[in-house]
A and B are shown apart, each in its own frame.
Chain A
Amino acid sequence: MALVTTSAVVLRTYPYSETSKIVRLATRDLGVQSAIAKGVLRPRSRFAAGLELLSEGMAQLYHRETRELQTLAAFDLLVLRRELAQDVGRFAGATAQAELMLKMAPEAPLPGAYDALTTGLDALRAAVPDAVDAVALRGLWLLLGALGFAPALGSCVRDGTPVPTLPGGGQVAFSTAEGGVLCARCAPPPPPTSNQATRLPAQAHRDLVALNDPDAPLPALAPPHAAAHRRLLARFVRHHFGEASTLPALDFWERHAWSPPLPPPSAIPAPAPAPAPAPSAAS
């Protein structure tokens, strides 16, 4: 059994016996791992506050590939991310990202996904209140991309025809099942059904492209448009993960379970107002 040292983020903890916990960790070098942290609930535990949800540290794991449950020897805290708990929206976005890692990441090295997760969590820590939704959306889309589910947004997912962002009005078809936009030839005739494609207004398509580009300015999303983007992302995840599976954190984030309800949303996202200067929290 090898002692492996790797950076890790705590995705979930479960109590185990009176003094121990089982933790699910996203590790940079070993993918998602389960480990037992013995004695973590004792008053003078060497793990101390380190094993808080979404905290990041250097984990030392006694690791054996054939085992489902590893042993956590130490966890030296690097970042606690306490700021996420100061805003329910930030926390909801962060737990949705943690859930994607838990459910979709393999037990194998995937440094790109680890980096996307930590970048997304840190962006949420610093997000200003008006930008929390957009920052969470960008974090989730980029994490999906790192996990191998990046949507095709610049060319038709079916035949590769370029689908540029439209400067003015118009609509672009987006197929959740096929994983990207469809060109005019491949798009089904309106009205679309859930099995075919969503019609994105040109502004929503531009925003979606910006959300999937870490270097683009973060789009300013009014609450109804942010809600439409959340629904689109949640539908995309559920389709590719399996409709029958439960994703409670994604559901909590999608429906803003902590907020008063918005007016009834239209089926198609309406054009957003002209983009405001990008909040610095996006970087």
Chain B
Amino acid sequence: MAITEERPEILELESGDTSASTGAFARPTHASGWRAWVFTVDHKKIGIMYGAVAMFWFLWGGIEALLIRAQLFTPNGTVLTAEQYNQIFTMHGTTMVFLVVMPLAAAFANYIVPLQIGARDVAFPRMNALGLWIFVFGGIFLNLSWFLGGGPDGGWFAYAPNTGVTYSPGAGMDFYALGLQIAGIASLVGAINLIVTIVNMRAPGMTMLRMPVFTWMILVVQFLLLFALPVITVALILLSFDRTFDANFFNVAMGADPLLWQHLFWIFGHPEVYILILPSFGIVSETLPVFSRKPLFGYSVIVISGAAIGFMGWGVWAHHMFVSGLGPVGVAAFSATTMFIAVPTGVKILNWIATMWGGNLKFTVPMMFSISLVAMFTIGGLSGVMHSVAPADTQQTDTYFIVAHFHYVLFGGALMGLFAGMYYWWPKAFGYKLGESLGKWHFWLLLLGFNMTFGPMHIVGLQGMARRHSRYGPEDGFDFWNAVVSIGAFVILIGMIIFAVNIVRSWLGYKAGTVPQEPADPWDGRTLEWAIPSPTPEHNFDYVPVVTDVDDFWHKKYQPDENGKLRKIADGNEIAQKGDQHPHLPSPSYWPIVLAAALPLIALGLIYNLWLAGIGLVLMLGAMYGWSLEPATDPDAGHGDHGEDHPTAGDDPEAGGNALVDASGEEAPSV
């Protein structure tokens, strides 16, 4: 296939004619106010909104957790009814997985990945906005169930046939099935977008093995999403068909095998575990070297082990089913694969410790959270190896030992890493750091509360306390540790309140001028996002940087002298780009949010009234029509790729001394 460099003539003509816009509506132009956010296609605003919405759901899921702990504070708790308890633990898990950890990772992926690869936005900015708004409406839809007859009550794992209409007659499970379907579209859209972005839009010279580890882990995660989401999509469609149209996919009387659901769910569900944890592995692979003042120990090993986890993650799903009746051959096989997935994970842990070994460790708040990930995730990983011993798992599964295990992985691992990321990249996103002392209070209370909450669960789990029980008896001997656990949960709450206070105080202080404006490179960073001003200018990069090394920005600052001794040759803040150029950027769009809003209407229609679904469908098609036909660009903006507003090194007299600028003026990233 020949790729022509010349543009078709017709386009040339049209772009010259500013009055001829092909769409039915002009594109929005708001530069400030709420509309600048709602219609934005800027990956940074989208990332911040992902984060803000996810933190709202974190609060919501946290309240659900506290209700659970209030109920289990004493034997025979009466805070919740069994029905409420079942709904709340179902939604706690669903919320934390789909509405908190995944979108928080998406927040960082959206904000940071384009900056780390030297791009001005993601490949498909409108699709990016679409993903955000679908996630927002999916979360709202899922939680509408609380106001329309009660939440889903079948567990986040939703084992058939307990989730069929016979056993779960309320609409809760419909909201679950359709809500996750909607949230899944958001992740799928995001995955495609980020894969294309990372593969195609890296700065010149940034080969795959010069890519920052965070970006690498995000790439692995997007491939996991791309292949895992279709599996749960199929499972959820079967469930919805069973519930809505009386299909027989999980109807045992008609010959169905309920294990079908379990296989489908966990073929999605186990890669999902790595979808949740790998972004945090990426984050600490960025922070540990920066605050140890050493390069990542074994960059390629960490990258390859991350990719290996991505592959091996597909071969372990049935360890969730050791007591489901797989037979000894299946159990033995999945037992062995599960043991060996511990190897690449363990290698990462030891490489991180080796990164710190011999370093010059600065205990900033992001560093403290990062180290706690290394320590706490290790505990979760090791208890995971204990479950891989299938006979032992027949005693441990569905007890609090498992609850302890995956909270050490997801809270001690994923969330600790995400908090590290928040403190680390906050100055890049907002121009100021979060307060150090309140941050340390946040960290220590969270670490203490976390271990108080989930540490004793190992003990009561081994003593036989089953999960998902709305009560336990005084004769069971679980009282003491459950009281400790519940108190721990409230310590976490206090830690999180301090985090909220820290955000508000730092923001007010920044407004008032008492919290300083941070320069481009406040942490002596290693990657490209620190080579541009804080907060990030709208266009990210004045010039597309040319990359020659892993940790390219660091190598611009430190070079060996004639004796081979490393010397600081430049200050990061001085060599950073100035952010004073105004290249052309994609225009905002009305249509992503409109298209996204149609999906919950369709879903509500499937539950209540097909006419409503019809209205939603019309809205969706209308939005697609508007999307396709809106003007291709903002006619007033100069076209960057025509050269006039898009300076390269050759155009800019000042750029000669700027090591970040591609001297040849080449624009296209070489893949």
Our verdict on whether A and B bind, yes or no, reads no
A interface residues (Cβ-Cβ under 8 A, vs B): none
B interface residues (Cβ-Cβ under 8 A, vs A): none
